[in-house]
Structure 1
Amino acid sequence: MSWYQIVPTLMCALALVIVPGGLLAFAAGARNYYVVGLAAPLSISLIALSAIVAEPLSIDFGAFPVVAVTAVSCIAAALLRFALRKPVAPPRERGKWPRSQWLVILAAIALAGLLIGVNFVQIIERPDNFSQTYDNIFHMNAVQYISDTGNGTSLTLGTLGTGPDIFYPAAWHNFVALIHIITGAGIPVAITAASLTIGALIWPTSCLFLAAVVFGPRPLTLLGTAVISAGFSSFPYLMIGFGVLYPYLLALATLPVAMALLSELFRIGTRRAPLDPRVSSLLFAAVIPGIGLAHPSVLLFVLLVALSLTPLPFIRRMLGPVTGRQRITTTAVMLVVLAAAGTVVVLIWNIARPSRGNSFWPPFQTEAQAIGEIISLAPMGAPTNWLMLVLVLVGIYSAFRHRLQRWTLIPLLLGSFLYIVVTSFPNGDTRYFITGVWYNDSYRLAALLPIALLPVMIAGWRTISAAFERRALRTTPSSVSGTSSLLGVNVIAVTILVAVSQGEPVSHAVRSAAANYGISEGSRLLSADEAELLERVPRLVPESATVLGNPYTGASLVYALSDRSTPVPHVGNGQNPRAQILVNHLDEMLTNPSVCPVVEEIGPVYVLGFGGGEIHGGDHAFPGTDEMSSATGFDLIAQEGEARLWEAVGCSTPAG
């Protein structure tokens, strides 16, 4: 499949993250870059919430519930806006933007999108390729499950219908399922379109929104931020390589918007007139569902940042012209608020933390090594990112010099502390309590690190670019206008930044991620023969049939890739009693009286046997299909290399 063929699917994905949220932001009174920045996070919230709302109303998830929830939300936002009589955008941002400002922000989005998009294309190679990783077995089958059943609610997705309802954050799966349902594209193609949309549009736009809200929409600040967003080794590239952690990718891509809204809510980090706190609170609340329903751990980081920022308004008041009695009262109120908010965060932290059994990733380095990786923006042994190192150091210097930028050190310290804990603290209760929310997984917190350091790096770039502009204006000949001089500085600075940002750290990340894509005889999940057999399954197996296969070998992808049901759709799913009988005893159908009633109940049963081994080199027993070469009651109907497809016919054959 060529990349030109994915254009209609990609256009659908782009529309899904721009139109619903953009309409809601506009209805709430947002204008200019507020609409641009808020559109995608609000769209994700609307899509994820529409799936939850549709299920109890017995409405199949798809375009209709998204349109309905968007319409209701827009009406509610407009009414609330009228009641508050307060527009979203600050006074000087509400008017019509000059064409030049629109050109700058669109150029910044296009520049970042091009840089990241090219790298994503190099990683994925073909639009119909898919990540050959452990987690992708669940992700792909979850998208197929939502499309099949019309049930996309996060409240029940965890077992894909094979066991008791379990919560699983489904915002990403809802988004991809919508693309799949609307366009009819195959699930791998829909995932590719979603990945490009998240990485090359949502992520850089969120970064630009943070830069514009906190530091103002200066052209060189925005263009530099666009390049910076494409220059990290650990995000977004790591998240489409390791795992694969698509939901976490989506949540992290929208995190800068939440941080920008927090800066508005707490009235910090900007010299512009901040929003009405009521409006900031409502916008923050509207963005939160999308983040939490994409990946709750990112929501917990947002809450951690919010908790850390909570004392700042009280401290600002205490440093003002207040009496001793007022200072004591303010201190008491601050302590009460902190205690209450801290208790809530700890409770949520404990509830959201996975079990110890699932938080098994070990530490692997010393604290000094972790600190070195943080400073050099080279987590998980990546090459040193000298550009980011300079920006971080200049940003820290700038934060200490400018009072309004000091808050940017808070997410930096939080993200750094979490990375130090997960990579270097000894296994034990302390490490589990702090980073168990992220499964004690160093890769997840390595991906969080660039976002935590992003405000400081933007501050660093703003300081450097402002110095360039001042020098250019001082040295510009009188025959050259100041505007022309600044334009030249912008072009030169951004060109240099692009060249430096796309160096070895990014190349290393692209190469590492690309190793998990493509189908060959040495593929980690599906070999070329296995993929070829799955492509033949729809012609060989009736739609009413059930196909049994060991999910650890990738055989359960028959659901997502061949549209045939399987009783064990993912390696982490529990098995219902019928599935247990098939998994453990199917090859005993001629002698075990419990087998044939199950086969007759669920319809024709087929078996996929993939001989290439399991993902991660495991060896999980599937006794009912482990010895198919010597089992009786099966007909071999297709074979590609070591990959085989059998039909279970023993229950339809008379005994004796």
Structure 2
Amino acid sequence: MLSVCVAIAVIAVPGLLTGYAAGVRGWALAGLTPLLSYAVGGLTGPWTAAAGLSFTPLTYAVSTVVFVTIASGVRKLTVRRRPPEPGPGLWARRGHLAVGACLLFAAVIGGYATLLGLGHLGALPQGFDAVYHGNAVRYIADTGDGGLFGTGHVNWYGDAAPVFYPNAYHLLAAVTYRLSGASIPEVLDANTVLLPGLLALSLVTLVREFRGRAVLAGAVALTAVAPVMGVYESMDRGPLLPFALGLTLTPLSAVALRRYLERVAPDTGLVLLLAAVGLLCVHSSTLFGGILFAGPLLVQRWLGGWRRIGRDLLALLPIAVVALLVAWLQLFGALGLANSAVPYYGWPSEWRASTALGALLGFQHQEPHPQIWLSVALFLGIVFFARAGALRWIGLTAAVTGLAYMAVASSNAPLVMALSRPWWDDPYRFFAMAAVPLCVLAAHGLAETQAWLSSRFSRIPAVAVAVVVLLGFVLLSNGLYFRSNGARVAAGYQAADPSKLRVTPGEAAAMEELGQLAKPGEWAMNDRFDGTAWTYALSGVRTVAAHYDETLPPSDALLLADRFRDYETDPAVRAAVRRLNVRWVILGKPSTEPGKPYQPGLTGLAGEPFLQEVWRDSDAVIYRLRP
């Protein structure tokens, strides 16, 4: 668990110090802390790379001091002219304690469900995207390159076009890797088990900022970690780690936006700036998701007085300008990716719009059974929606994100494809985004049920009624569906037969062994479709293919994949081997996907005179290239 503790410290300390220096206090500080940390790291990495400096734990610490100093200066400048903002009030001490208990319980249940799916910390994710994230974290930790195109160099090197990827997730994970001494899979898993708790914390902060009752805050902590299509499906598919992280932080966009618009000042403006930039640094789509989530807040404000429109837009203009200057590396990188040669195919539609609506209301995507008690709570939330007060805008957020999911799930129309490009037209991602406001509505249903029961049974203390309602929801949902949620996560990490895994234990052992055999700077030839794309993350040895992705690979990788077995007779192959300093060959079990056995250049290598077998187990073999 050391890796989890280190990950918490890496995610918490810089943001906590920066937020406190900027004048953020209480639940707002607790909730905004992770997002501010990702803003600090996400800005530091690319700018240090642009300056020719390395990103290391020391760099991260120094940049934290810089951000804290800036935040402190802005705060002091602000309070000289404007009084500090008053606290939200409303909750008594026991309310804070009760909400804290609900949040802790939710974080433990969500983390346990995740760990149940992982099997153990250090489990290697089997999906398509994970290998990119694992190799990216190792690359930053080994090279100190915090640039936005650096993480792609592991697979797209040489004459391949550079690949842009927002890297705040990888930067902070690289710090955790360096400080904890854990393996790359364990670092990824340590961050993954925190995701349900982070979402619960963000939603509790949202409720607190909008003056919701403590019962609503406690309820939203529980509903946040219950739906399978929230963070758990993103853990199974890919896993989509930066997207899932961004999803947990998205509600904070509304928190930072409201704090600024209620008190337009440099200190609240700085927090809003860092929140927006932090979302962008985690992933480009996360900023768009934050706009979808918080945009309805502006609608509710403006319906309360049309004169606010001009004032709010004028107040937001300088934030937008400064954000453009501060995060131009991320913004122009994202624009360049959208206009690059990287193909955009999107995902096929899943089903009819009516079926998609049923999936939303039933909290049931690809699962065999709906999460019925979440649906009951959501129904109650809709019934009592008029009592949502300052949070009524969340209904519009649910409608917008829900309709977006229904459109993507049921149509491949050009307009739908174009508008959904930041999310790759992926129904799973839109379903996850819709789940967040639906959780808030479900929590509202539970809280208003408590209020209704308290008014009917006034002799029973309201606290006792709250305990009955929330505990009843936990029990009826079988512990917030932790077993079924864990089973969904397990599909991306475990298999009843380990030999059926995409990356088998035998392949992992071979990759680690190669790390002991190879000298620094030596590369290995490998197949793109077996598990050995993980070699760099697990051993530090670079491979010719470092991702399952076939998109626009380097010419040397194409050549060797097609003709490596002709090494003795083909001068072009030998030249490519020299350029890359290939000294080893590592082969795992051939992919079981149709049409993806070993690549042509890697078939029939056993017994070739230019290779010497040095290690073998049931799933993998390592050859040394003879001089």
TM-score after normalising by structure 2: 0.88
Sort the Cα spacing of 1:462 and 1:101 in 2 relative to 1 into closer, same or farther, 3 A. closer
Mapped to 2, the partners of 1:275 and 1:180 lie a distance apart of 40
1:167 corresponds to: 164
SS of 1:635's partner is strand
AA matched with 2:173 = V
Map of 2:328 onto structure 1: none
Q: Return the index of the structure with the highest Cα Rg.
A: 1
**Greater CA drift, 589-598 or 37-46:** 589-598
Specify which of 173, 178, 200 is matched with residue 175 of structure 2: 178
Cα drift, residue 50 of structure 1: 1.6
Higher mean alpha-carbon deviation, 279-288 vs 136-145, is at 279-288
Shift of 1:123: 0.4
What is the rounded CA distance, in whole Å, between the counterparts of 2:85 and 2:269 in structure 1? 15
Name the structure 2 match of 1:321: none
How far does residue 265 in structure 1 lie from its aligned partner after superposition?
4.7
Q: Alpha carbons of 1:337 and 1:16: their partners in 2 closer, same or farther (altered >3 Å)?
A: closer
* CA distance in 2: counterparts of 1:445 and 1:88, whole angstroms: 41
Q: What is the CA-CA distance between 1:589 and the residue it aligns to?
A: 2.1
2:465 pairs with 486, 489, 497, which one?
A: 489
Q: Deviations over 1:199-257 (max 9, x none)?
A: 33x221111101111233x4322221221112111112111111110111110010111
Which has the larger displacement, 534-543 or 546-555? Answer: 534-543
Task: Give 1:641's match in structure 2, choosing from 581, 596, 618.
Answer: 618
* Alignment partner of 2:51 out of 25, 42, 57: 57
5+ residue gaps in structure 1? Answer: 1-6, 267-273, 319-326, 477-484
Partner of 1:125: 119
C-alpha separation between the residues in 2 aligned to 1:138 and 1:550? 16
> What CA distance in whole angstroms lies between the structure 1 residues aligned with 2:210 and 2:96?
18
1:508 aligns with 2:484: yes
**Secondary structure of the corresponding residue to residue 437 of structure 1:** helix
Gap change, CA 1:373 and 1:165, over 3 Å in 2: same
- In structure 2, do the counterparts of structure 1 residues 475 and 38 end up closer, same or farther at CA, with 3 Å as the change threshold? same
Question: Pick from 537, 556, 560: which aligns with 1:560?
Answer: 537
Residue correspondence of structure 1 range 116-265 to structure 2 within 5 A: 116-160=110-154, 162=157, 163-200=160-197, 202-216=198-212, 218-265=213-260
Determine which of 68, 74, 77 is the counterpart of 1:74: 68
In the TM superposition, 1:25-104 aligns within 5 A as: 25-85=19-79, 90-93=85-88, 100-104=94-98
How far 1:362 moved relative to its partner?
Answer: 0.7
Q: CA 1:603/1:54 → structure 2, altered by over 3 Å: closer, same or farther?
A: same
Provide Cα deviations, 1:133-183, integer angstroms capped at 9, x if missing partner: 111121111111111111122244334361443210112111211111111
Could you list the structure 1 runs, at least 4 aligned residues long, displaced by more than 6 angstroms after superposition. Answer: 86-89, 330-338, 347-352
Cα deviations by residue, 1:614-640 (Å, 9 ceiling, x for unpaired): 5x4441763322231364411122111
Residue range with higher mean Cα deviation, 563-572 or 463-472? 463-472
Query: Which residue is equivalent to 1:430?
Result: 415
Q: Which residue of structure 1 aligns with residue 351 of structure 2?
A: 365
Q: 1: distance between equivalents of 2:61 and 2:569?
A: 54
- Check conservation: 2:590, 2:598, Cα contact below 8 A: no
3-state DSSP of counterpart to 1:646: strand
- State whether structure 2 residue 448 is matched by structure 1 residue 463: yes
- Aligned-partner Cα distance in 1 for 2:368–2:285: 24
3-state SS, counterpart of residue 542 of structure 1: coil
For 1:22, the equivalent position in structure 2 comes to: 16
SS at match of 1:251: helix
Q: How far did 1:88 drift?
A: 9.7
* Structure 1 position 417 matched with structure 2 position 403: yes
Instruction: Measure the CA separation in 2 of the matches of 1:405 and 1:611.
Output: 53
Residue 290 of structure 1 is aligned with which of 275, 278, 300? 278
> In the alignment, is the contact (CA less than 8 A) between 1:255 and 1:451 conserved in 2?
no
Partner residue, 1:323: none
Show the counterpart of 1:376.
362
Cα distance, 1:144–1:334 mapped onto 2, change above 3 Å: closer
Determine which of 100, 103, 117 is the counterpart of 1:109.
Answer: 103
- SS of residue matched to 1:185: coil
Render the CA deviation track for 1:69-120: whole Å, top value 9, x for unaligned.
211111111111122227897414489x975455334323211111101101
CA distance in 1, matches of 2:11, 2:441: 28
Residues 1:286 and 1:88: Cα distance change in structure 2 (over 3 Å): farther
Shift, 1:333, TM fit? 9.8
Distance 1:411 1:106 in 2: 26
Instruction: Compute the displacement of 1:565 (Å).
Output: 1.3
Query: Which residue, out of 378, 383, 391, partners 1:392?
Result: 378
The residue aligned with 1:605 is: 583
Give 1:475's match in structure 2, choosing from 435, 442, 459.
459
**Cα pair distance change 1:99/1:352, threshold 3 Å:** farther
Are the counterparts in 1 of residues 110 and 482 from structure 2 also a CA contact under 8 Å? no
Does the 8 A contact of 2:395 with 2:441 survive in 1?
yes
Aligned pairs, how many? 610
Supply the distance in 1 between the matched residues of 2:136 and 2:276 (Cα, whole angstroms): 23
8 Å Cα contact 1:28-1:88 kept in structure 2? no
Listed one character per residue, the Cα deviations across residues 2-40 of structure 1 (whole Å, up to 9, x for unaligned) are: xxxxx2211111111211111111101111111111111
The structure 1 residue matched to 2:474, chosen from 466, 487, 498, is: 498
Checking the alignment, whether the CA contact within 8 Å between 1:34 and 1:209 is kept in structure 2 is: yes
Q: Is the 8 A contact 1:415 1:453 kept in 2?
A: no
Deviation at 1:517, TM superposition (A): 1.4
Runs of at least 5 residues in structure 2 that lack an aligned partner in the other structure: 325-330
1:89–1:247 Cα change, 3 Å: farther
2:560 equivalent in structure 1: 582
Cα distance change, pair 578–376 in 1 and its aligned pair in 2 (3 A): closer
1:251 & 1:179 partners in 2: Cα distance?
18
Calculate the TM-score normalised by the size of structure 1. Answer: 0.85
Q: Quick one: higher RCO (CA 8 Å, sep 6+), 1 or 2?
A: 2
Instruction: Report how far residue 599 of structure 1 moved.
Output: 3.2
Q: Secondary structure at the match of 1:400?
A: helix
**Contact residue 155 and residue 166 of structure 1 kept, 8 A:** yes
Query: Which of 497, 506, 521 is equivalent to 1:529?
Result: 506
The answer on whether the counterparts of 1:606 and 1:645 sit within 8 Å (CA) in structure 2 is yes
Contact 1:88 1:279 in 2 (8 A): no
Q: Give RMSD over aligned pairs.
A: 3.3
